[in-house]
Each structure stands twice: as structure tokens, then as C-alpha cells.
Amino acid sequence: MESQYLHEVAITAIIIKDGKYLITRRSSNKKRFPGKWTVPGGKMETNDYLALPKDTEFYWYNVLERTLKREVKEEAGLDIGNIEYITSLATVHEDGDPSLVISCAADYLGGEVKLQEGETDDFAWVSLEESKNYDLLDGIYEEFAMTEKKRKGEKSEWSR
């Protein structure tokens, strides 16, 4: 298999509010993982930075954070902050497109959950234990567990 450089880049937010995590259910019409519970997020687009002035002579900074804030606002109507890296994953979808997903934790800053029509159709705030009762996308439970460890000052890598 020849090496490819271009990946779809997505970023997701494990949003923490009062010790619970926001999960959303993907609409049944979604091409990828319909009906599965996950966390808000989405794909980075070049217009997440191209329309803005560069922060240095050559670079835009905080592009992933800006993308994540935009996606969470669009998908769930919430404002987030204090974004921290949790883990990353890669996949090649059935259509052959490779994806790199960067998973982050973020604090809830404000807003009421308002789901984006056509993207998600339900939501819940859950504890780590309660999340086991939902049909989560594979790997999300472990990401919640990593987030809990990180918030206690413990370091970890994704494992099962």
C-alpha cells in the first residue's frame, strides 16, 4: 500500500460539566455510525484559518481549538474552554478516506444544549459509569476513563 499524506482531520470534545460528560446520538441518516452515541466534534476545514490573519509570519495558531469551539457551538449550542489533548486515533472509512481524529477534553463554559438538525437527535449528560448504558462509538468509554485520570493529575495512554 502506498503512503498517502492527506487525511481528513477531525477533532472531538469530551465536554465536562459538574463531573458529567455530554454525549450525543448520531442521526439515523448519517453515513458513518448512524444511531451511535458519541461526543461532539467535526472536521477541520481550511476556512477555519485561511480567512484569518496569521499569528506569525508563516503560521496560524490554535487552529484545532478554534475548529473544536466552532463545531461544538454548531452541533450542541455550547461554549467550551480549557481544551486539553486526550488522545488521537486513525481509521480508514469504508469509502477509502483516511481520518485522523484528535480527542480533547474541554470545560463547559455556557449555553443550553441545542442539537444541530440532521447531525444528532438526542443527548445526555453522563458519568463514566452511566456511559456504559449507552451504545457508544467504540473507544469513547476508554477516552472518558483517560479524561478522569487526567483530571486527577494521572497520565495515561489509550488502552483496553
Q: Which three three-digit cell numbers place residue 94?
A: 469504508
The domain locations on the chain are 8-150
* pLDDT score of 32: 83
* 31 backbone dihedrals φ, ψ, rounded to 5°: -70, -40
Q: Which three three-digit cell numbers place residue 135?
A: 451504545
Distance from the first to the final alpha carbon of the chain: 28
Q: Are 32 and 124 in contact (CB under 8 A)?
A: no
Q: Are 40 and 123 in contact (CB under 8 A)?
A: no
Burial class (CB in 10 A: 0-12, 13-18, 19+), 138: exposed
* pLDDT score of 5: 63
CATH number of 8-150: 3.90.79.10
Q: Are 45 and 136 in contact (CB under 8 A)?
A: no
Neighbours of 118 (CB within 10 A): 9
pLDDT tens series, the chain, 160 aa: 565 667 889 999 999 999 999 999 999 998 889 999 999 999 998 888 898 999 999 999 999 999 999 999 999 999 999 999 999 999 998 888 899 999 999 999 999 999 999 999 999 999 999 999 999 999 999 999 999 999 999 998 898 8
Please choose, from the candidates 48, 68, 60, the residue with its C-alpha nearest in 3D space to the C-alpha of residue 109. 68
* pLDDT score of 134: 98
